[in-house]
Chains A and B, each alone.
Chain A
Amino acid sequence: MKLSPLHIVLGLSAFVALTGCGPKKPTLHLYTWSDYLDPELVSVFEKANNCRIKVDTFDSNETMYAKMLAGSGRYDIIFPSSYQVSLMAQNGMLLPLDKSKLPNVAAHFADTYKSVILNPEMTYNVPYAITFTGIAYRKDKIGDTEISWASFDNPAFKGRSSLLNDFRETIGAALKSLGYSLNTTNTDELNKAGDVVIRWKKNIAKFDNEQYKTGIASGEFVLGQGYNGDIAQVMLEDSAKIGFAFPKEGFSAACDEMVIPKVAKQVNLAHAFINFMYDPDNAAKNIQYICTIMPNKEGIARLPEKYRNNPAIIPPAELLSKAEVLKDLGASNALYSKIWDTIKAAE
């Protein structure tokens, strides 16, 4: 006797059955960013709803979108950024939300943040976290100077500041400093903004997305364009010396949202989860975990003081109107990358 193909097929299928077959409890599949959900809330929800939650993570909206398009992403809730939500909704990939199953969202959504949400009618989406781009600075080394985008011209900070290495954010900051929209597609405005960044480039130390946090924390840099959530995390460890400014000329905002794709299997459970996240106590707990606000009025009010009073987590209400949401510009992105190339090549 020899090992027949039948043995192999049997062996393989036994293994597939063992691994592929799920437990009896329903499983809710989430597709989100890494470290973007408090694991304690996950276990609370699992117990309350007698289900299991499985979290998979993506590194960019584009990765997630590609997986959905390819048809290998049968998730129940996805957490894309606003502009991606618009694209997915246009392509008919999203399920309209059943508002009657989301009483917490209706009760606690903070209207003050409506201006920084791309799809405020919330047909397909519920805002999960809003991030802002501003300027981190060292209080102890900067004196009383008012911090704004113009500070990157200040010769006092020569070689001790950094700008983000991101063409939308960095050119966006220059556009704001000139009083233009950061979603402009006007070449004249963009060229002027490009000149501003080239001028800044001569004064700053580098364009950087990661190491600037170390630079600010260690005092090597005194000024750095950065995301508020990142800086809030650094501030919670070393708060006395580090400040965060929302520039008065205006700044960018981005929102990650919860959406249910059409291919979702656990539609009811998905609604329950979105509603669960909007419970004020849960919202407050999660904000502390991700250091980024969810527009949940009561949830923000229930934050411990060190979070509620942290200017990097919650922008001052009077400055909120200065925030502008980054939109996906589609083909016009090329205009920005062209200017960006000129900036990178400039001496």
Chain B
Amino acid sequence: MKRNPFPIVVLFVVLAFLYLPIVMLTTNSFNLSRFGGTWEGFTLNWYRLLLQDQDVWIAFANSLLIATGATLASCLLGTTAALALHKWDSRLQNIHYGLIYTPLVIPEILMGISLLLTFTAVGMDCGLHTILLAHTTFCVSYVTMTVLARLQDFDDSLIEAARDLGANAWISFIKVQFPLLLPGIISGGLLAFTLSIDDFVITFFVAGPGSSTLPLKVYSMIKHSPRLPVINCLSTVMLLLTFVLVLASRAFQNIKQQKAT
């Protein structure tokens, strides 16, 4: 019997839509032509210009700072939230779960506007700190969900065994539960990091003077810059960074799964 070619065709079409634009963008970052479109030869000149562009690097540093801060804060808050959700099954925790879950489904634009309104209402000047608060707000949910998923197949009898052997609650958490949860926390953290470093919509609203992040900078360059290929280079660099983080996140998840089996 002849194999149905349809799934293969669909596979290639989907792959093309996902990755062809990325391939084109990466290729154009090495294109000698200023305007793209036609291939005029290989150059690293745009990367050189990118290296020299101070504003881009300041924006990049801002992005890194915010992503790191938001990741650390959301790992801490997210893990504790997941532990609470796992431990107690009360009505209060059901509400808690709902509150944590909401930011995952709420439209970003709504979150951005409401955060901005809150910040201005309390008289807070916008800047790096408001972006950090906003990013932590949405990252917490992602970390909580990831850690909670790990906790669901966590064997609670391990803790009981530790307590039987004389460990107090803190020791049994630090020595038993935490190391077993760590891959989940790290993969949640990496997810938070990629989300934070890529975020445009929410950041756009809550950014203030001197706090442009990389996505904001790129957006303003697209419409009004004589050096468009520099954006291609920058996007390529960001893509690489994101890919590395996603791969690392996957690797940590695999470690956990292997240990579980």
Chain A interface (Cβ < 8 Å from any Cβ of B): 1-3, 8, 11-12, 15-16, 19-20, 27, 29, 31, 33-36, 39, 54-60, 70-76, 210-211, 213-214, 217-218, 230, 233, 237, 291
Chain A residues whose CB sits within 8 angstroms of the CB of B170 once the complex forms: 1-2
Distance between Cα atoms of A34 and B136 in the complex (Å): 28
Query: Is the contact region of chain B dominated by helix, strand, or loop, or is it mixed?
Result: helix
- 4 new A-B contacts, CB < 8 A, other than A34-B224, A72-B130, A211-B35, are A15-B72, A15-B73, A74-B125, A237-B34
- The smallest beta-carbon distance between B233 and chain A, in angstroms, is 15
Q: Which residue of A lies closest to B65 (CB)?
A: A19
Q: Tell me if B120 and A70 are in contact (CB < 8 A).
A: yes
Pairwise interchain contact A11-B73, C-beta atoms closer than 8 A? yes
Asked whether, in the complex, the Cβ of A54 is within 8 Å of the Cβ of B209, the reply is yes
Q: In the complex, what distance in Å separates the CA atom of A69 from the CA atom of B89?
A: 45
Contact assessment for B225 and A34 in the assembled complex, using a CB-CB cutoff below 8 Å: yes
B76 pairs with A8, CB closer than 8 A:
yes
> Which A residues are CB-close (under 8 A) to B37?
211, 214
- Measured between alpha carbons, how far is A8 from B77 in the docked complex, in Å? 8
Chain B 26-60 against A: per-residue CB contact (8 Å), 1 yes, 0 no?
A: 00000001111110000000000000001100100
Contact B212 A16 (CB under 8 A): no
Q: Is B222 in contact with A71, judged by CB distance below 8 angstroms?
A: no
Choice from A39, A58, A72, A76 contacting B220 with Cβ under 8 Å? A58
Please, which residues of chain A bring their CB within 8 A of the CB of B206? 72
Query: Smallest CB–CB gap between B130 and chain A, Å?
Result: 8
Q: Which partner residue on chain B sits nearest A56 by CB separation?
A: B212
* Residues on the B chain within 8 Å of A15, using CB: 69, 72-73, 132
A20 touches B209 (CB 8 A): no
Residue B129 at the chain A interface, CB threshold 8 Å = yes
Interface range for B:
35 or more
B116 near A27: Cβ-Cβ < 8 Å? no
Chain B residue numbers with a CB within 8 Å of A20 are: 127-129
How far, in angstroms, from A12 to B74 measured CA to CA in the complex? 10
Contact B210 A217 (CB under 8 A): no
With a 10 A CB-CB cut-off, give which of B66, B133, B219, B222 has the most chain A CB atoms. Answer: B219
The answer to whether B210 and A54 have CB atoms under 8 Å apart is yes
* Bound: A69/B206 CA distance, A: 13
B209 touches A29 (CB 8 A): yes
Least Cβ–Cβ distance between B213 and chain A, in angstroms: 10
| A3-B76, A211-B37 as given contacts; A34 in contact with B54, CB under 8 Å | no
Q: Is B23 an interface residue (CB 8 A)?
A: no
Q: Is B205 located at the chain interface by the 8 A CB criterion?
A: yes
CB of B209 within 8 A of CB of A33, answer no
